[in-house]
Structure 1
Amino acid sequence: MTHTFDMVVLGGGIGGYTAAIRAAQLGKNVAIVEQDKLGGTCLHRGCIPSKALLRSAEVFALMKDSDRFGVGAEAVTLDFSKVASRKDAVVEQLYSGLQFLMKKHKITVFQGKGRLIGPSIFSPRSGTVSVDQGEDEILTLVPEKVVIATGSRPRSLPGLETDGMTILNSDEALRLEKLPASAVIIGGGVIGVEWASLLSDFGVQVTVVEFAPRLLPSEDEDVSRELERLLKKRGVSVRTGTKVLTESVRKHEGGVTLNVEYREEQAELSAEIALVCVGRQANVEGIGLENTDVKVEGGFVRVNDSMQTAELHIYAVGDCIGGLQLAHAAAHEGLTAAEHAWGLQPHKVEPHRVPRCVYSRPETASIGWTEREAKERGRDVKVSKVHFRALGKAIVLGETDGFIKVVADKETNDLLGVHMIGPHVTDYISEAALAQLLDATPWEIGQTIHPHPTLSELLGEAMLAVDGRSINM
Structure 2
Amino acid sequence: MSEKYELIVLGAGPGGYVGAIKAAQLGHRVAVVENRDVGGTCLNRGCIPTKTLIHTTELLEEVQSCERLGIRVGQVAVDFPQMHERKSEVVTQLRTGIESLLKANKIDVIRGTAKILNAHIVQVGGDTYEAEKILIATGSKPMCPPIPGLDLPGVVTSDEMLEGQGVETKNMVIIGGGVIGVEFASIYHALGCEVTIIEALERILPNMDREISQNLNMILKKRGIKVYTGARVERVEQGETLQVFFTAKEKAQCVETETVLVSIGRSANTENIVAGDMDLQMQRGFIPVDHTYETSIKGIYAVGDVVLGGTQLAHVASAQAVNAVCSMFGEKMPMNLSCIPSCIYTSPEIASVGMTAEEAKEKGIETITGKAIMSANGKTVIARADRGFIRLLFEKESKRVLGAVLMCCRATDMITGITDAVANGLTMSQLAATVRPHPTFSEAIGEAIEDAEGGAIHAAPKRK
Distance 1:349 1:290 in 2: 35
SS of 1:301's equivalent in the other structure is: coil
Please state how far the C-alpha of 1:464 moved relative to its aligned partner: 2.7
Q: CA RMSD in A?
A: 1.6
Distance 2:420 2:336 in 1: 14
Instruction: Name the aligned partner's letter for residue 320 of structure 2.
Output: E
Map of 1:385 onto structure 2: 371
Instruction: Name the aligned partner's letter for residue 225 of structure 1.
Output: Q
Alignment length, in residue pairs? 457
- Closer, same or farther in 2 for the Cα pair 1:289/1:50, shift >3 Å? farther
Please state how far the C-alpha of 1:342 moved relative to its aligned partner: 1.1
1:145 has 2:133 as partner: yes
Distance 2:152 2:45 in 1: 14
Please state how far the C-alpha of 1:178 moved relative to its aligned partner: 5.0
Map of 1:433 onto structure 2: 419
Please state how far the C-alpha of 1:399 moved relative to its aligned partner: 1.5
2:388 to 402, 427, 431: 402
Please state how far the C-alpha of 1:89 moved relative to its aligned partner: 0.6
Please state how far the C-alpha of 1:183 moved relative to its aligned partner: 0.5
Please state how far the C-alpha of 1:385 moved relative to its aligned partner: 1.8
The CA deviation string for residues 4-44 of structure 1, in whole angstroms up to 9 with x for no partner, is: 00100011111011000000000111000001111010010
SS of 1:362's equivalent in the other structure is: coil
1:444 has 2:430 as partner: yes
1:235 to 210, 220, 224: 224
Please state how far the C-alpha of 1:282 moved relative to its aligned partner: 0.1
Q: What is the percent sequence identity of the aligned residues?
A: 38
Map of 2:240 onto structure 1: 253
1:127 to 120, 123, 129: 120
Please state how far the C-alpha of 1:190 moved relative to its aligned partner: 0.5
SS of 1:24's equivalent in the other structure is: helix
- Closer, same or farther in 2 for the Cα pair 1:90/1:163, shift >3 Å? farther
Distance 1:206 1:29 in 2: 50
- Closer, same or farther in 2 for the Cα pair 1:279/1:64, shift >3 Å? same
The CA deviation string for residues 105-151 of structure 1, in whole angstroms up to 9 with x for no partner, is: 11110001111002xxxxxxx2311111xxxxx22111111100011
Map of 1:205 onto structure 2: 194
Distance 1:224 1:443 in 2: 30
Map of 1:13 onto structure 2: 13
Map of 1:215 onto structure 2: 204
Please state how far the C-alpha of 1:410 moved relative to its aligned partner: 1.2
Please state how far the C-alpha of 1:335 moved relative to its aligned partner: 0.6
Distance 1:350 1:440 in 2: 17
The CA deviation string for residues 169-202 of structure 1, in whole angstroms up to 9 with x for no partner, is: 1111124555211101010100001001111111
SS of 1:14's equivalent in the other structure is: coil
Instruction: Name the aligned partner's letter for residue 155 of structure 2.
Output: I
Distance 1:238 1:451 in 2: 38
Map of 2:22 onto structure 1: 22
Distance 2:326 2:417 in 1: 25
The CA deviation string for residues 312-333 of structure 1, in whole angstroms up to 9 with x for no partner, is: 3111001111421000011101
Decide whether the 8 Å contact of 1:162 with 1:169 is kept in 2: no
- Closer, same or farther in 2 for the Cα pair 1:182/1:460, shift >3 Å? same
Instruction: Name the aligned partner's letter for residue 239 of structure 2.
Output: H
The CA deviation string for residues 281-324 of structure 1, in whole angstroms up to 9 with x for no partner, is: 00111111644342212431101121111123111001111421
Decide whether the 8 Å contact of 2:178 with 2:264 is kept in 1: yes
Moved more, 191-200 or 281-290: 281-290
Moved more, 161-170 or 57-66: 161-170
Decide whether the 8 Å contact of 1:179 with 1:204 is kept in 2: no
Map of 1:170 onto structure 2: 158
Map of 1:135 onto structure 2: none
Instruction: Name the aligned partner's letter for residue 332 of structure 2.
Output: Q
Please state how far the C-alpha of 1:162 moved relative to its aligned partner: 4.5
Please state how far the C-alpha of 1:437 moved relative to its aligned partner: 1.4
1:265 has 2:251 as partner: yes
SS of 1:296's equivalent in the other structure is: coil
Distance 2:240 2:458 in 1: 57
Please state how far the C-alpha of 1:392 moved relative to its aligned partner: 1.2
Please state how far the C-alpha of 1:253 moved relative to its aligned partner: 3.3
Moved more, 226-235 or 365-374: 365-374
Map of 2:179 onto structure 1: 190
Map of 1:56 onto structure 2: 56
Map of 1:122 onto structure 2: none
Please state how far the C-alpha of 1:381 moved relative to its aligned partner: 1.9
Decide whether the 8 Å contact of 2:152 with 2:238 is kept in 1: no
Tell me, which stretches of 5 or more residues in structure 1 are unaligned? 119-125, 133-137
1:314 has 2:307 as partner: no
- Closer, same or farther in 2 for the Cα pair 1:459/1:392, shift >3 Å? same
Decide whether the 8 Å contact of 1:127 with 1:292 is kept in 2: no
Please state how far the C-alpha of 1:165 moved relative to its aligned partner: 4.1
Please state how far the C-alpha of 1:274 moved relative to its aligned partner: 0.7
Moved more, 387-396 or 327-336: 387-396
Decide whether the 8 Å contact of 1:116 with 1:291 is kept in 2: no
Decide whether the 8 Å contact of 2:148 with 2:234 is kept in 1: no
Distance 2:336 2:2 in 1: 34
Tell me, which stretches of 5 or more residues in structure 2 are unaligned? 460-464
